[in-house]
Amino acid sequence: MAKIVELIETKPRMAIIVAKSVPNRPGIAGEFFSCLGNAGFNVEMISETSVSGNLADISFAVNEPHVEKIVKHLENCAGFEIAEFEVIRKRGLLTVYGKNLSREPGIAGKVFSLLAQEAINIDMISTSFTSITVLIKESYLAPARNLMMKEFELDA
């Protein structure tokens, strides 16, 4: 029988940028991320949290070396009335891959519980049919990877 989890990957040197109090209107996310993409900036993860009916915070993960350029670029993009940017550095991505991952009930809970057992807090989560990706403190990447490799019986 094939293993549910086939590969664990990590990506260090990530950061979270939180755009605070962005106008909550149709099309803002498209404009916001098109502004970044058109300038050649890659966004790894995105999360939006509504603050109120008219404003939202948009959090997204990027390569840490590009943070200052990204914030400066967004400050110069027309049409965004962003109150402030918060930057959270020293983060990394941990991705659990498996072509049949979505067919395994409870796999996300297992991954999150394993991290919690080691007191590893998750900053952001992204899932697809074949992967679960979490953004965590960079210093926890290696221990988290080792933990997942052991739990899912993958060769180091």
Q: How confident is the model at residue 1 (pLDDT cuts 50, 70, 90)?
A: low
Task: Flag whether pLDDT at 50 surpasses 80.
Answer: no
Distance of alpha carbon 156 from alpha carbon 146, whole angstroms: 8
Task: Flag whether pLDDT at 109 surpasses 90.
Answer: yes
pLDDT averaged over every residue in the chain: 92
Identify residue 78 by its one-letter amino acid code. A
pLDDT tens-digit profile of 60-108? Answer: 999 999 999 999 999 888 677 788 999 999 999 999 999 999 999 999 9
Q: What mean pLDDT do residues 100-123 have?
A: 95
Q: Which domains does the chain have, with CATH numbers?
A: 7-12+91-151 (3.30.2130.10), 15-89 (3.30.70.260)
Query: Angle at Cα 154 formed by Cα 97 and Cα 112, nearest 5°?
Result: 55
Predicted local distance difference test score (pLDDT) of residue 52: 74
Predicted local distance difference test score (pLDDT) of residue 156: 60
Q: How confident is the model at residue 112 (pLDDT cuts 50, 70, 90)?
A: very high
Task: Flag whether pLDDT at 131 surpasses 60.
Answer: yes
Entry pTM: 0.91
Q: How confident is the model at residue 24 (pLDDT cuts 50, 70, 90)?
A: confident
SS (H, E, C) the chain: CCCCCCEEEEEEEEEEEEEEEEECCCCHHHHHHHHHHHCCCCCCEEEEEECCCCEEEEEEEEEHHHHHHHHHHHHHCCCCCCCEEEEEEEEEEEEEECCCHHHCCCHHHHHHHHHHHCCCCCCEEEECCCEEEEEEEHHHHHHHHHHHHHHCCCCC
